[in-house]
Amino acid sequence: MLFITVVIRNRKYIMAGRGSRRHIHKYHKISFAGMQVFACALSDCTHYMPQHMEAMIIGKASYCWECDNPMVMDEISKKMDKPICVNCRTKKIELPANLLTTND
Ligand SMILES: [Zn+2]
Ligand SMILES: [Zn+2]
């Protein structure tokens, strides 16, 4: 058994892995048997999260689709087809706010 320690924002995540699953999954939403499920996008990995276990995705490590850094899945990223981390989300929210500034 091999253990991988991932440190995200000073919190340590220890993950057990073997074979091709020895990585942080990069989750994205795909259509599988007519359902939307989270699956790992990495080429050597067949991992996916069955729909009845979708709630389990919260707290799982994944890679951000924007900056490619490890992140932890939360309620907001769970709703995204290609989850992005808190940093990238903040950037995205701030940008239109600046553009909406009016001068009257
Ligand atoms: Zn994977
Ligand atoms: Zn990011």
pLDDT digits (tens, 9 = 90+) for 27-83: 999 998 888 999 999 998 999 999 899 999 999 999 999 999 999 999 999 999 999
pLDDT at 18 over 60: no
In a domain, 18, yes or no: yes
What's the 43 CA to ligand 1 centre distance in angstroms? 8
User: What residues make up the domain containing 63?
Assistant: 2-99
Å from CA of 94 to ligand 1 middle: 31
Q: Which position has the higher pLDDT, 31 or 100?
A: 31
pTM of the model: 0.68
Q: Which residues contact 51 (CB under 8 A, 6 or more apart)?
A: 35, 36, 37
**For residues 96-103, average pLDDT:** 62
Sign of the dihedral through C-alpha 29, 46, 48, 16: negative
Residue predicted with more confidence, 68 or 12: 68
Residue 104 belongs to some domain of the structure = no
Counting the structural domains of the chain, the total is 1
